[in-house]
Amino acid sequence: ETAVRMGQVTGSMQGVTKGMDRSLASMDIDKISQLMDKFEQQFEDLDVKTQYMEGSMNATTATSTPAEQVDTLITMVADENNLDLGEAFTDAGPVGNKTPKLQQPANEEVEDSLEARLANLRS
């Protein structure tokens, strides 16, 4: 399913890129703005779909491996390498109950960059 989605997104991005080439050739500011908005929307959709797929895959892999086996393996490796785990994993809690913190791009920087490019095109 991920490969199919990526194929769809790739096709959409190719269409937007071709549209951008045509708009830039004509230097029609309205068309350029519309294409940039469409590109941004598709990119945001891709980001949401990617986060959903990653979450689904993480949940699937986390629930498919018994926790006891994982704990046993970690303890065995720690013992072989003379490591003291102590209470390191007690406080961590079970896998899959915590949502990872995603790094958000600096939206203001992206917007400032786009606005500067648009202003440059207008002048």
CB 16 within 8 A of CB 42: yes
- pLDDT over threshold 60, residue 97: no
Segments making up each domain of the chain, as ranges: 2-122
The secondary structure of 18-34 as a DSSP string is HHHHHHHHHT-HHHHHH
Amino acid at position 80, single letter: E
Q: What mean pLDDT comes out for the span 51-79?
A: 80
Confidence of residue 92 (pLDDT cuts 50, 70, 90): low
pLDDT at 1: 66
Angle, helices 2-26 vs 29-64, to 10°: value is 170
Q: How many CA atoms lie within 13 A of 111 on its CB side?
A: 3
Q: What mean pLDDT comes out for the span 5-17?
A: 74
Q: What is the mean pLDDT of the chain?
A: 76
Residue 50: count other Cβ atoms within 10 Å of its Cβ. Answer: 14
